Amino acid sequence: MDKLESDFSKELKIIPWWSYLLGSIAFLCMQFVFHVAILHSEKVPPPPAVRSLLGVVTGLALAVWFMLLGYVNRDAGRRGMNRALWTFLVIIIPNGIGYIIYFIMRKPMQVPCPHCGASAEPGFTYCTKCGKALKPSCASCGAQMRPGDAFCPSCGKAAAPSA
């Protein structure tokens, strides 16, 4: 459970400041709409309790929408997807359906190559930029090892110091 929570707060950290700013402005605008503007536009405005509820619900929905917008804008970059295109798509596809499409379609997170820093997809064995192995492999049997493993998980031989 701890891991899940820390993953979630790590994800929250990538949301950019402008996303929080726009979300807060949208929330305040909704309070204005339901507490001030509605009194002037409606002959019989809804009772205050209903207006407060509507203001909070629509305000929160808009705030979440803007936070998701910032999240998609950053997250697409980490996955080697077109940031501008996906930001545009989630804005123009109505009712949040753009976000649903994004979360279904998004690619796995890219990992940096330990040798040259180029981003690579997690399934790749070799870097497409410099051609070196992305993960260390055993010098005697060739089995793939995790970075930092001292012994081969397959044949048990000690790992060669990484080049």
Interacting residue ranges for Zn ion, rule: CB under 5 A = 113, 115-116, 118, 127, 129-130, 138, 141, 143, 152, 154-155
- CA 137/CA 155 separation, integer angstroms: 12
Token output for 16: 């950019």
- CA 64/CA 59 separation, integer angstroms: 9
- CA 24/CA 2 separation, integer angstroms: 29
Return left, alpha or beta for 117; rule: phi > 0 is left, psi -120 to 50 is alpha, else beta.
left
Minimum distance of Zn ion from residue 142's CB (angstroms): 7
- Of the pair 91, 141, the CB lying nearest Zn ion is at 141
35 vs 24, 57, 114, CA distance in Å?
17, 13, 56
- Of the pair 8, 126, the CB lying nearest Zn ion is at 126
Minimum distance of Zn ion from residue 80's CB (angstroms): 15
- Of the pair 26, 120, the CB lying nearest Zn ion is at 120
- Of the pair 109, 118, the CB lying nearest Zn ion is at 118
Minimum distance of Zn ion from residue 119's CB (angstroms): 9
- CA 74/CA 16 separation, integer angstroms: 8
The residue written with tokens 């010098």 in the block is 139
- Of the pair 38, 159, the CB lying nearest Zn ion is at 159
Minimum distance of Zn ion from residue 83's CB (angstroms): 22
